Amino acid sequence: MPEGSGRAPLGPRLTLLIVESSGPLFLPGLARRMNGEGYKKDLAVKEVMAIIRMNMMNQTKKALAQAGISSFSATKVLGRGKGHVDFRLLKGAEAGHEEAIAQLGQGPKLIPKRLLTIVVPDDKVSTVVDTLIETNLTGMAGDGKIFVMPVLDAVRVRTGETGDVAVNEAR
């Protein structure tokens, strides 16, 4: 390759990008993406934890996707609410006392539920909460709870982006 053609400018350009990225980054593409390219980075990130009925999972997924929230993680959990569980009864049944076994199933026990964890930018929190309440509302006890918690930071592993850009689904 002759001197001064194609390859030569690469050196200075690369240096420039690294200076711009203001951090110890060595990939120009990564540096550009981490700079946010005009996306607001000052939005806080919130974690929405929802405990819902097992059989509501499919319609909740559909409703969330329609509201523009497609990413979340879900776990199967056991739980109880205000209902009481008598542990003396459980112990008695375990020990084989017949009257205790007969009373089992009369009071509420640990109930299988789904725990959804959704991390979204601040401005999406009300959308998520409204969607969750709308789709999961049957009006009976046991519909579940929703908790909104602050998150200090979020990182997209693929690119290293941080902040609300990392959980922004438009990107």
**Least separation, in Å, of the C-beta of 27 and another protein?**
33
Q: Which amino acid is at 128?
A: V
In whole angstroms, how large is the CA radius of gyration of the chain?
A: 25
| CB-CB contact of 43 with 122 (8 Å) | yes
Provide the 8-state DSSP code for 147. E
- String marking each residue 109-148 x if it binds another protein according to CB under 8 A: -x--x-x-------------x--xx--xxxxxxxxxxxxx
CA 20 to the chain's CA centroid:
32
Using CA atoms of 138, 139, 142, 145 in order, give the dihedral in degrees to the nearest 10: 90
- String marking each residue 62-101 x if it binds another protein according to CB under 8 A: -------------x-xxxxxxxxx-x--x-----------
* Residue 54 or 141 with smaller CB distance to another protein: 141
- String marking each residue 46-65 x if it binds another protein according to CB under 8 A: x---xxx-------------
**Least separation, in Å, of the C-beta of 142 and another protein?**
7
